[in-house]
Amino acid sequence: MRQRSAKSKSQPAGFTTVVVLRLYVAGGAPNSMLAIANLESICAEYLKDGHRLEVVDVLEDPHRAMAEGVLVTPSLTKLSPQPVAKVVGNLSDRRRVLLALGLKPDVA
Amino acid sequence: MSRDRPRPDGGAGRASARLQNALRQLPEGGIERQAVDAGEIDAVVDYANSNIIMFPFARRALRDTAKGAAAAGANRQPALQGPVANSVLAALPRADYERLLPGLEPVALKHGEVLHEEGAPIRYVYFLVDSVVSLLTRTEGQRTAATGMVGYEGMVGMSLVYGVDASSARAQVLAAGSAMRMPAERFRDEFRLCLPLQRELYRYAYVELAQARQAAACISSHHLEQLLARMLLMISDRSGSQDIFLTQEYLAGTLRARRESITQAAATLRSRKLISYSRGKISIVRRKGLEAASCSCYKKIETLHAV
């Protein structure tokens, strides 16, 4: 309910855009931990309030990972706004992550 | 824990063969294979066997972490992790948390729901997760003023901590969300026996008192726009949402101002493109700007939680 973004005439255009992300990890494995840290840093810098991040531990819920077509972990999916985008690996390549999220690396 | 969790003690040769099989299923030349080659992957999903296959280095790391945690002593492990946990419960040693768990019931709190009435006996205490509860004190007749706010950092029903069975204020849900509740009788027993729970709740009692003092000082010395900005930020921090559902009456009662003044203060913040609002919903547009527009009391109150 709280993620609903009803538009009103008084709202400035575009502010309701929320980037919805889902990060699949394998418990506390090294690349998974690194991916969480890298993504949190990117979100804090570029998407401070305009994002929703769900971290899914595939070791806890392997069936969900399979139902959602995950091949490897760590794996990041941008669900919204369209188009859906995917980045795999520990997200150390900041530029690649930003491009997948639809953000320009040189614009804060 | 799922039974599908890969067995760390599986034979190395067999595990390696399963891993190789799973790797062969990855798309040729795809981003997954590139990441595997770069050593950035911990595990592969094995669709053929409905399993997750860990890379040996990742499996070793998990095993070492588990051993390290066990060596550090079970009592030092946090009971809950993650931003959605209630701070009081999260700070308890695992053994204590696990003892409390059967007495805790997850509940969804609705906006406007009254959890406790002023002066009425407390039936349940609530450990909030992402809901926000306002504590309202009656002034005259049915009029009330908000004199406290509780979120993930605390518990609703603090009177029981002081040994009083009745609530000193009306507790009403300000932002819908989830919470864990415990029957008052069980809470009394647990509180009497569990020293870590006592320690955490006495610490929270201090935070709640200091927060109320700071808020009282703030209301008497800062501009209404600053108060409004602080209040919106505090609610948003606790609910994890930028959208806040509030009425003018509530704001007027809480900030001790006339409704017209509230309208004017909100319009000022909106003209600076910090918030937007329509039909009872206020949305934070530029958080950094709103933080700058609030007074120093916001930061002071928020840092109290680190006590």
**Cα angle: B115, vertex B119, B122; to 5 degrees:** 45
Put the strands of the sheet holding B275-278 in their side by side order: B243-245, B281-284, B275-278
Q: What is the mean pLDDT of residues B64-86?
A: 49
B105 pLDDT higher than 90: no
Under the banding of pLDDT at 50, 70 and 90, the label for residue B176 is confident
Binary contact (A31, B283; C-beta < 8 A)? no
Asked whether the beta carbons of B94 and B78 are under 8 A apart, the reply is yes
Asked whether the beta carbons of B129 and B152 are under 8 A apart, the reply is yes
Residue A4: what pLDDT? 37
Residue B10: what pLDDT? 38
Under the banding of pLDDT at 50, 70 and 90, the label for residue B6 is very low
Distance CA B16, CA B234 (A): 51
Residue B58: what pLDDT? 84
Binary contact (B288, A32; C-beta < 8 A)? no
Residue A61: what pLDDT? 82
B271 pLDDT higher than 70: yes
Name the closest residue on chain B to residue A18, using Cα atoms: B242
Higher-confidence position of B17 and B75: B17
Distance CA B179, CA B105 (A): 8
Q: Does A76 touch chain B (CB under 8 A)?
A: no
Asked whether the beta carbons of B235 and B272 are under 8 A apart, the reply is no
Residue B219: what pLDDT? 84
Q: Does A17 touch chain B (CB under 8 A)?
A: no
Q: Does A23 touch chain B (CB under 8 A)?
A: no
ipTM of this model? 0.82
> What are the residue ranges in chain A where pLDDT is below 50?
1-14, 107-108
Q: What is the mean pLDDT of residues B259-287?
A: 90
